[in-house]
Structure formats: C-alpha cells, structure tokens
Amino acid sequence: MIPTSEARFIRLNLITVIVTLLLILAGGIVRSTGSGMGCPDWPKCFDQYVPPTSVDQLPANYKEKYVAKRVQKNERFAKTLDKLGRKDLADSIRHDVSILQPETFNAANTWTEYINRLMGALTGFLLIGLAILAWTFRKKASRLFWLSILNLVVVVFQAWLGSIVVSTNLLQWVVTVHMLLALVMLAILVYTYNYAKQLHQEEMTIISKTAGLKLLILAAVVVSIIQIVVGTEVREAVDMISKKLLYNDRASWVERVGAIFSYHRDLAILVAVLNVFIYKIVMDKFGGKATELRVGNSIVIVLIVQVLSGILLSNFALPPYAQAIHILFSTTLFTLQFYLYLLVYRTNTYKQ
C-alpha cells in the first residue's frame, strides 16, 4: 500500500509531465504561427499582466519603447557572456540589427504567446508543488527531494532564458538551448515518477537478460535528442529563409534549407528503425499487461504520428499545425523512450 503523501507525489508528477508536454505544444504553436515576439517584453506582456486586445490600448511610441528595453536587456546579457569568455557571442548579440526592428502589434500573436506563458507559469507552480510533496521522501529516498529541487532551479533558469529568447528576437542558439532544457525537465520528471513508483514494486521472477535492450533504448534516446536539436536548427533555418522571402513562396522553404534538412530526415529514419527493433524485443521479453509492453505500444503510436507529421511538413509547405504536432510528438517520443529505459534499466525480471 502506497502512503497517501507518496501517492499524491506520483499523481502530481504524472500531471506535471503531461502539462510540460502541453507547454512544449504551446511553444510549438507559438513558433509555427510566428508569435514568438507577440509579447515584446517579459515577464509582462506590453507591461501588462493581461495583454491588450487592440493597438489602441498601447502608447503611440510603443514600438520604440520596447526596442529600447530590448537593447538594454541584451547589453546586460552580452556583458554576462563577456565575463564567461564568450566575446564572440556577446558581439553577435550587440551587432544583431534584427533586434532593432520593432514588432507591430498583432492581437492573435500576442494572445498566443501569452497563453504559452500562462502554461509556463502553471508548469512552474506544479514543480513547486512537487518539491513540497517530495519533502516526504527526504529520508526514505532523498534523491527524489533533491531532484525535485533541481527541476525548480532548471525551470527558473528556463524562465530567464525565455526572457532572453524574447529580448534577442529569437536568437537561434538560445532557442536551441531553451528546447534542450525542456528535455532536461522532462527527463527529471520521468525519473522521479518512475523512482517513486519503484519504491513499492513487488518482487518479480527472473526470465531473461536485458542488457542488449538497455543499450538499444539508450541509443534511441540519444539519437532522438540529436534529432530534436537538428530539428530545432532546421526550424531556425526555415525562419531565416521565410524572413528573407518576406514570408512568400512558402512551398520553396524546405528545399532552400539545405543539407541540415537531409540530416534531420536521415536521423528520423534511424530513430524509426531503432524503435522498431526495440518494440520487437519488448514484445518478445514482456507480455500480458507489462508496463514495458504498454509503453512500447505507445512508442509505436507516437512514432507513426511523428513520421506522418514529418511527411506533411516536407511535402505540403510546412503547415503550421503539422509543425506543432511534430514538436509535441518528438518530445513525447523522447519521454516514452526514456521511461522505457528506466523501466528496463534494473529489470532482468518480469512478474508472471
């Protein structure tokens, strides 16, 4: 019997995983609709906690005002990079002329970005709740408490980095780091969820060794991370191309991306092949209602949707809805793969 406090932690942990994935979906919608600069400041939106719905609610000089604020914030960020020995990055930010381009108010973009920020705030509150509930594990399984605290630190840094994403006008490498931190948050959440559940698992009966399966899943996780990073870079390249073409000739954007798109596609094929092999082994080793098999089934479904969304993106001029789905399911695939790895990691056994 799982104690009530621990059961609450497990439930809230699962909810937080789901909400974090929804936050990534919201971010994908922001990116695919070009709403990233819908709120030119942070954490408020146009200096308001509830953003405006009409340009009439803004001062006449709002464009110049927020550009000036952005320049000031970027200078502070550049000085930090200078201190870290990254003068090249600091100078690139200082001399980025795109930062000086004012954003015209667009109510749809503003509210899309605002909802994304609300999702981020909700995720933050859930992580605070998890850290509080994790206190019950401080003696029994202290790593759960400290990992929950670590995730709070990560989300605070992620929020700060989000402000840098805005102030630097979606600077490419900052966006990539922002995405990687989201994966770190998910990995910690999945680990704490699995570890908390394992504390009360029943004894199992040994059936077979799983070392090869562990390595295969780990390889799939690593390749998925690389693919997500490359996918982020593809998206950044598309953003640059779309701006150069003034958002016209959408059908040509993909072919203009170049070799990096081919790398992303090849990695997608590798991810698919690895997961097919993983699923075959999981089916052979685990049967019935085993959690491993259920997760394997979920991976196959997610993989199919992921592949279909990729086909839509590459062959139908990057429809925005497909971009958001693609981002969501790529991170969901990573989440499930990592969970499966944790399930199998200590498992040479299976309950009959």
Q: What is the pLDDT tens value at each position of the chain, 352 positions in all?
A: 778 888 999 999 999 999 999 999 998 898 888 787 788 887 888 888 999 999 898 888 888 888 888 888 888 888 988 888 888 888 888 887 777 777 788 999 999 999 999 999 999 999 999 999 999 898 888 999 999 999 999 999 988 887 777 777 666 777 788 889 999 999 999 999 999 998 877 645 445 667 888 999 999 999 999 999 998 888 878 877 877 887 788 778 888 888 888 899 999 999 999 999 999 999 888 877 788 899 999 999 999 999 999 999 888 888 888 889 999 999 999 999 999 999 988 765 444 3
Helices (H), 95-210: 107-133, 142-167, 172-198
Angle at 237 between CA 231 and CA 241, to 5 degrees: 145
If one counts every other C-beta atom within 10 angstroms of the C-beta of residue 90, the result is 20
Domains delineated in the chain = 1-201 (no CATH), 206-352 (1.20.120)
> What's residue 349's pLDDT?
46
pLDDT in tens, 82-95: 888 888 888 888 88
Question: What CA–CA distance (Å, rounded) separates 162 from 266?
Answer: 30
Secondary structure letter of residue 37 according to DSSP: T
> How far apart are the C-alpha atoms of 272 and 88, rounded to whole Å?
38
pTM: 0.87
For 212-237, what is each residue's pLDDT tens digit? 889 999 999 999 999 999 988 888 78
Q: Pick the closest to residue 77 from 164, 156, 153, 159 (CA basis).
A: 164
How many angstroms separate the CA atoms of 63 and 40, rounded?
Answer: 9
Q: Per DSSP, what are the bridge partners of residue 48?
A: 45
Contacts of 218 (CB under 8 A, 6+ apart): 341
Nearest-angstrom CA–CA distance, 88 and 68: 23
Q: What is the pLDDT of residue 169?
A: 66
Phi first, then psi, for residue 350 (nearest 5°) are -155, 130
User: From its phi and psi, is residue 71 left (phi > 0), alpha (psi between -120 and 50) or beta?
Assistant: alpha
Q: How far apart (Å, rounded) are the C-alpha atoms in residues 220 and 231?
A: 16
User: If phi over 0 gives left and psi between -120 and 50 gives alpha, with beta otherwise, what is residue 239?
Assistant: alpha
Cis, bond preceding 43 (omega within 30 deg of 0): yes
